[in-house]
Amino acid sequence: MASFSLKVLPLLSQWNIIREQLEQLAIKECWTDKQIFDIILICEEWFMNVLEHGQCDAASEIVVEVEHVECKTVKMLFSDAGIPFSPFEKGTPALAEATASVDQRLGGLGIYFIQNKISGYEYRYRDGRNYVTMFYSFDAADEEGGKK
């Protein structure tokens, strides 16, 4: 199974570097359009959340590792040197709460999207860095799609 790892600066323009890597991985792994859409959405929302709220030093690096770990699971690890922040400890925000913030450039809706797309996550804070690992299950996404 393929993977990539890269280090980027906490700048908006760096998102395109991550996205291009994700698209290349998607081609290698023959992901469907929906799987690509969901995985890019999860990664964009988390990256933008770190930029908006992480208070990262401009020279600090954000580490991104994405790996197709099993036949039907993609693991996405983001590590940043921002303030300690466990994104999902409060559970899934209410939709009204999430959308109320959308025009204030707050991350509520983005976190809401992530929580609706991932099948699991891990968080730890070590040596001054956040480590957020998110898992995307193709099976769970298929089930979700089947319900619609």
Partner 1 sequence: MDIQVMSLEKDITEIQVNGRLDGITMPELEQRLEVDCFREQKFRLAFNLEKLDYISSAGLRVMLLALKKTTAMKGKLVLFGLNSSVHEIFKLSGFSSIYTIVSTREEALATMQ
What does the binding site for partner 1 look like in residue numbers (CB under 8 A)?
12-13, 15-16, 33-34, 37, 40-41, 44-45, 48, 95-96, 98-99, 102-103, 105, 107, 109-110, 112-113, 116, 148
CB of 24 to partner 1, least distance (A): 16
Say if strands 73-80 and 129-137 run parallel, antiparallel, or are unpaired. antiparallel
CB atoms near residue 118 (< 10 Å): 22
CB of 70 to partner 1, least distance (A): 24
CB of 28 to partner 1, least distance (A): 20
Pick between residue 34 and residue 124 the one whose CB is nearest to partner 1: 34
Pick between residue 70 and residue 145 the one whose CB is nearest to partner 1: 145
Pick between residue 81 and residue 114 the one whose CB is nearest to partner 1: 114
Report in angstroms the alpha-carbon separations of 113 from 24, 60, 145.
23, 27, 15
φ/ψ of 52, rounded to 5, equals -75, -40
Pick between residue 39 and residue 132 the one whose CB is nearest to partner 1: 39
User: Amino acid letter at 104?
Assistant: Q
Pick between residue 114 and residue 132 the one whose CB is nearest to partner 1: 114
CB of 47 to partner 1, least distance (A): 8
DSSP string across 62-89 = EEEEEEEEETTEEEEEEEE-SS---TTT
Look up residue 35 and give its two tokens.
């799987």
Cβ neighbours of residue 38 under 8 Å, at least 6 residues apart?
Answer: 117, 136, 141
CB of 128 to partner 1, least distance (A): 26
